[in-house]
Amino acid sequence: MQKKLLGLAVAGALAAPGLALAQVEVYGFINMSVGKFKYSDSSTGVGSISKWDVASHASNYGIRGRENVGGGQTAWFQIEQNAPMERSNNVAITPASRNSAVGLQGAWGNAFMGQWTTPWADLDALWGVGTVGGWGPITSIIGRRETTGTAPNYNCAGGHGVAGACDAIEAAGGVGHPFWKRISNAVFYQSPVFAGVQVKLAYQTNEGKATTGVVADPSMWSSSVQWAGLGGRVRVGAAFDAHKDFTTPGETDSGFRVTGGWNFGFADLGLAYETMTYKTVGGDCDAKQMGIGLAVPIGQGAIRASYAVADDIDGPTASCAPANPAGGTAGGDNGAKTWNIGYEYRFSKRTTVGIGYATIENDADATFTWTGAPPNQGGASNGPLPGSDPSTFFVNMVHRF
């Protein structure tokens, strides 16, 4: 009886603000795999290892809400955090660690501030049709992995690249910083869609600017334009990024990418090409990646496959190879190839189950892997040893709520 009365009391307390709460939504995305994972022999002489693993691929949950504020304007917010679905990854739940912002939207577009994926990264949706679960090129080679946080801060305790007074992300830097999937301390603008065309802009503020110690003014711009036509069957987008004082104070790293796809009905094809230039004291370090994705519908599911290549870093070895984007050892043999294939069955709009195989073929100095991979031969780091090729046979389940 007391439990029933308590339930009625809670329901009554929530009834009064019901109109406001009607526009607030709790949502989430759970993406997990179980599989047999293997690291092959490394170029450093360490042998191979196989193990079973349960992996969580960017699972998250959050709340979001909207309010009509008049004049055709809508105020909105979103607070999203990671959902570490496996205990062994030792990752704490960090509020607002993913796409989180507050903004105002109208016929003129959408403006917001906070932490969000960049216009550069948003173009992955145009071509990434070939991935089952989280074992694909977008989480391994294309974009050179994800980093979430602020621009580099050269005046962290201990110097640039050492975590101290600043958090680990601010202290990170050097050649090969990712062209980020998500930036914080940033403002964003998304134009309305006109004739299938949309423009997106993002600016990460220069809060790390310093006039003593290491004089630097780190900030970044990200921009993209995309178009969809023929009822959405054809899509194409291009992006340009400029990262000021990220690798070297006084220099600006830059990147360009183009992605797209065509849904023929019997198959959906996606393509991506990108190039980045990192400015070092010793010279330019140029990175190039490209990929292809394919989805062939069969029944209530689809066969999905991808292939991607990361070329060796082009530039002076002394400046570019020791801290290459893959994190390999000194040397210029730091490229990689990856491919995956699998079948994904859709039980409903919210639930899918898939099965597949994925592998990365690292060059002798490369250590590419996927987000969510298990620990390597040493049992601690989830990055492979130089030259070791990670691979996995897996069963995956995705549920959205």
Q: Give per-residue pLDDT as tens, 202-229.
A: 999 998 899 988 888 999 999 999 999 9
Domain locations in the chain as residue ranges: 56-334+362-375
pLDDT value at position 247? 82
In this prediction, residue 91 has a pLDDT band, given cuts at 50, 70 and 90, of low
Per-residue pLDDT band at 90 (split at 50, 70, 90): low
131 vs 165: which has the higher pLDDT: 131
Give the pLDDT confidence of 333-356 residue by residue, as tens digits. 888 999 999 999 999 999 999 999
Q: Is 271 exposed, middle or buried (0-12, 13-18, 19+ CB in 10 A)?
A: middle
Bridge partners, residue 144, by sequence = none
> Under a CB-based contact definition with an 8 Å cutoff, are residues 221 and 206 in contact?
no
CA atoms of 182 and 179, how far apart (whole Å): 9
- Identify the CA nearest to 238 among candidates 266, 275, 206, 210: 275
pLDDT in tens, 113-136: 999 999 999 999 999 999 999 999
Query: With 50 as the cut, is the pLDDT of residue 327 above it?
Result: no
C-beta separation of 395 from 35 below 8 A: yes
Q: CB within 8 A of 15, min separation 6: which ones?
A: none
* pLDDT at residue 87 in the model: 63
- For the whole model, what pTM was predicted? 0.87
Give SS3 for 342.
strand
Q: How far is CA 59 from CA 62, 84, 87, 146, in A?
A: 11, 7, 13, 15
Q: Are strands 24-39 and 60-70 parallel, antiparallel or unpaired?
A: antiparallel
Q: Higher-confidence residue: 360 or 321?
A: 360
Q: 């305790």: which residue's tokens?
A: 157
CA 361 to chain centre: 21
| CATH 3.90.550.10 assigned to 56-334+362-375 | no
- SS3 state of residue 168: helix
pLDDT tens, 36-60?
A: 999 999 998 999 999 999 999 989 9
> How much is the pLDDT for 26?
96
The predicted structure's pLDDT at residue 221: 95
**Mean pLDDT computed over 161-178:** 48
CB 369 within 8 A of CB 384: yes
Are 275 and 286 in contact, with CB atoms under 8 Å apart? yes
211-250 in b/e form (b: 16+ CB < 10 A) is: eeeeebebbbbbbbbbbbeeeeeebbbbbebebbbbbbbe
